[in-house]
Chains A and B, each alone.
Chain A
Amino acid sequence: MTTKPRTLYQKIWDAHVVDQRDDGTCLVYIDRHLVHEVTSPQAFEGLRAAGRTVRRPDLTLAVPDHNLPTTARKDAQGHVLPIADLESATQLAALRTNAPEFGIRYIDATDREQGIVHVVGPEQGFSLPGATIVCGDSHTACHGGVGALAFGIGTTEVEHVLATQTLLLKQSRTMEVRVEGKLGAGVTPKDVILHVIGVIGTAGGTGHVIEYRGNVFREMSVEGRLTVCNMSIEGGARAGLVAPDETTFAYLQGRPYAPAGADWDKAVAWWKSLATDEGATFDKSVAIRAEDIQPTVTWGTSPEDVSAIGGLVPAPEDFADASKRDAVKVSLEYMGLAPGTRLTEVEVQNVFIGSCTNSRIEDIRAAAQVLKGRHKAAGVKWAIVVPGSGLVKAQAEAEGLDKVIIEAGLEWREPGCSACLAMNPDKVPPGERCASTSNRNFTGRQGPGSRTHLMSPAMAAAAAVTGRLTDVRELVG
């Protein structure tokens, strides 16, 4: 049989088509389903109302993250502390009862393995190359970092997957984002993806699945790839992937949910066959020179509003598109920024290091490296470091990073989504600025009136030390 050269995405897609309709809509099998407390209650309610069960509870994993306070979860005697916000407590309690009721493994807030779903999945080896992975959260694209086809779904789709382990989908178009060259000092995976979004725009990937290609991604760690793929959705793409390779296999081997024994060898052989074939074509291609990427921050309220740290706050007139000019005007007003201001003169009052984008051990290490022997600036009122999971927290503590962070005057918290979105007690006060390693700088995202500047963990740590947006290369040579 001869087959046309296919992309990584097409190979994964083909392996999962259960049925195809005449109009091209496909019934696609879902290998792994992650469930959290915010987007699942109505789905479980729907199943219950219709008398339906979960088809494959063994392929499903439930973990709370969005609502959880990141302060201590137990008192000194080991008693679980109540959650003050009643609505949050209700939503968390719903997951705690729904998951076991439907036979799904549930990781509790007080378990060591608890964390942000997108940190837990890869960390447990639950997320595998070539697998289709869904979760009721748009940052599910993250798992593309291990070479999985992973994307966010809405609650009705959560219900659909729970009941049938499938989804009705149309094949996406393919987009190649190629970054070749040598990244400069201080340029991290977060800077790469912020730069990419700046180039393609927040709708640049709409209708597409992105494959990140080129030596920069090949040489990147799995954690870095997870950071990049995580923000695919900020470029409009529902999913982003990096081809699985030896780096991926080494990362996954031995993790609790990863295949073992003969299954492992079989898996690696198949994973190796998934790479995009020579001669396969993409519907859209973008090429970026690694040397053009600088440590990057956002200045506006859209993730495409990026600039190299050495740059200036732009003026609405700098943009050709009339509606973008209007958006920039509104954005700068909201952000309280005057065009022409040097970004390095912008003062921050809050620092948040965490979120599914940047809360893994390499992120904590990068922040700690900058913080070591330094102290947060007087103008920084609130600065927290929130590990992505209990296992990341334990690893960081084993390396003594928690001490470095605490000695620098930052808080070391319990795992959760925290200040990435204003659903738990970690919020940025109105009118105040936050140097944040999260993924969205939308109006009100970190709390009503909050002003978010997205950046890498090292850059956020540098901002904590100086009290303003800072080029990390000035602190770490």
Chain B
Amino acid sequence: MEPIAHVAGRAIPFGRKNVDTDVIIPAHWLKTITREGLGKGAFEAVKKEPGNVFADPEYAGAPILIAGDNFGCGSSREHAAWALLDMGITCVIAPSFSDIFSGNAFKNGILTVALPQQAIDRLLEVAKTDPVDIDLETQTVTTRFQDRFAFEIDPFRKHCLLNGLDEVGLTMAQGETISAHEAKTRAELPFLARTPASVD
């Protein structure tokens, strides 16, 4: 995973509320067995709407997406995060995110920034003409018009994002702690600890 400390550049002023993962990447794009190339299918239906922001050359290659409440609701498909990444988006700003999506985004090095609707409205305005700047270290979103919005982020997620840490590797280092838990479950709740497929 690439470390991420700072995202700066143009932001796509999408603004829509309840953007579900079927909108981000429709199901027929999920038949891939790799993580790459999904940017083509991202927002497929929206891209067909006349005057949509994704077709506007102004925002070509923008690393930031600004959306409305409850971004990423719906299915657990991580393809939604991969599609955004493939489009070049490394930060999404919205008033709120679905739990599964924000987890998937984080695990792929996409920063999700939750800000109040008022701040979102202001950033949607700025984004039409100017870049937006997100600094993870100081947890702030700024613009060249002296806007400054602070955001919250889970300290562990921040640490992992800043250092590009892989969670699987981190957890595997705790193998002994996991084994101890398994032994305890085998003793106390044996019916959970094994299935007919277990050999012990």
Q: 6 shortest A-B CB distances, which residue pairs? A: A154-B78, A259-B191, A152-B76, A87-B31, A41-B33, A154-B104
**Does A153 have its Cβ within 8 Å of any Cβ on chain B?**
yes
B51: interface (CB < 8 Å):
no
Is the Cβ of A263 less than 8 Å from the Cβ of B190? yes
Task: Name the residue of chain B whose CB is nearest to the CB of A92.
Answer: B31
Q: Is the beta-carbon distance between B191 and A264 smaller than 8 angstroms?
A: yes
A91 and B100 form a contact (CB under 8 A): no
B126 at interface by CB-CB < 8 Å:
no
Question: Which A residues between 21 and 67 are near B, CB-CB below 8 angstroms?
Answer: 21, 23, 25, 27, 29, 31-32, 38-39, 41-42, 45-46, 50, 52, 55, 57-59, 66-67
Inside 8 A of B76's CB, which chain A residues have their CB? 39, 136-138, 140, 152-154
The answer on a CB contact under 8 Å between A440 and B22 is yes
Chain B residue at smallest Cβ distance from A93 = B33
Chain A residues close to B by CB (< 8 Å): 15, 18-19, 21, 23, 25, 27, 29, 31-32, 38-39, 41-42, 45-46, 50, 52, 55, 57-59, 66-67, 85, 87-88, 90-91, 94, 105, 126, 128, 130-131, 136-138, 140, 152-157, 159-160, 163-166, 168, 170, 202-203, 206-207, 233, 236, 238, 256-257, 259, 263-264, 266-267, 270, 302, 323-324, 326-327, 421-423, 440, 442-445, 448
A58: which of B33, B169, B178, B195 is its contact (CB, 8 Å)?
A: B195
Please tell me if the beta carbons of A45 and B168 are within 8 angstroms of each other in the complex: no
For residue B128, CB closer than 8 A to chain A, the reply is no
Across the two chains, which residue of chain B brings its CB closest to A103?
A: B197
Residues of B within 8 A of A202 (CB): 18, 70, 73
Contact of A165 among B22, B74, B155, B178 (CB under 8 A): B178
Establish whether residues A160 and B167, one from each chain, have CB atoms under 8 Å apart when the complex forms. yes
* B156 CB to nearest A CB, Å: 5
**Considering the chains assembled together, what is the distance between the CA atoms of A105 and B45 in angstroms?**
38
Q: Across the interface, which residues of A come within 8 angstroms of B171, CB to CB?
A: 27, 160, 163-164, 166, 168
Cβ distance A43 to chain B, nearest Cβ, rounded Å: 9
Would A159 and B99 be within 8 Å (CB), given that A263-B191, A327-B17, A440-B74 are in contact? no
Q: Tell me if B26 counts as interface (CB < 8 A to partner A).
A: yes
Contact A23 B156 (CB under 8 A): yes
Q: Which A residues lie within 8 Å of B28 (CB)?
A: 422-423
Q: A94-B33, A154-B76, A444-B22 in contact; A29/B185 too (CB < 8 A)?
A: yes
- Interface residues of chain B, those whose CB is within 8 Å of chain A, are 17-18, 20, 22-23, 26-28, 30-35, 45, 68-70, 73-78, 81, 96, 98-100, 103-104, 107-108, 154-156, 167-169, 171-172, 174-175, 177-178, 181-182, 185, 189-199
Residues of B within 8 A of A323 (CB): 17, 68-69
Which residues of B sit under 8 angstroms from A267, Cβ to Cβ? 189, 191
Which of chain A's residues have a CB closer than 8 A to the CB of B107?
154, 156-157
Does A105 contact B197, Cβ atoms closer than 8 Å? yes
B27 / chain A contacts, CB cutoff of 8 Å: 421-423, 445
Q: Are B190's CB and A266's CB within 8 A?
A: yes
> How far does the Cβ of B198 sit from chain A's closest Cβ, in whole Å?
4
Alpha-carbon separation in the docked complex, A263 to B195 (Å): 11
Cross-chain contact B100 with A153 (CB below 8 angstroms):
yes
Bound CA span A284–B100, Å: 20
CA gap between A168 and B157 in the complex, in Å:
11
Please give me the residue from chain B that is nearest to A98 by CB atom. B33
Taking the closest CB of chain B, its distance from the CB of A112, in whole angstroms, is: 17
Interface contact A87-B195, CB-CB below 8 Å:
no
How far is A38 from B96 in the complex, measured between Cα atoms in Å?
27
User: Once bound together, how far apart are the Cα atoms of A50 and B1, in whole Å?
Assistant: 13
Asked if A442 and B178 sit within 8 Å, CB to CB, the answer is: no
Q: Do B190 and A39 touch (CB < 8 A)?
A: no
A18 near B177 with CB under 8 A, answer: yes
Residues in chain B near residue A153, CB distance under 8 A: 76, 100, 103
- A233 surroundings in chain B (CB, below 8 A): 74
How far, in Å, is B150 (CB) from chain A's closest CB? 19
Determine the chain B residues whose CB is within 8 A of the CB of A256 once the complex forms. Answer: 196
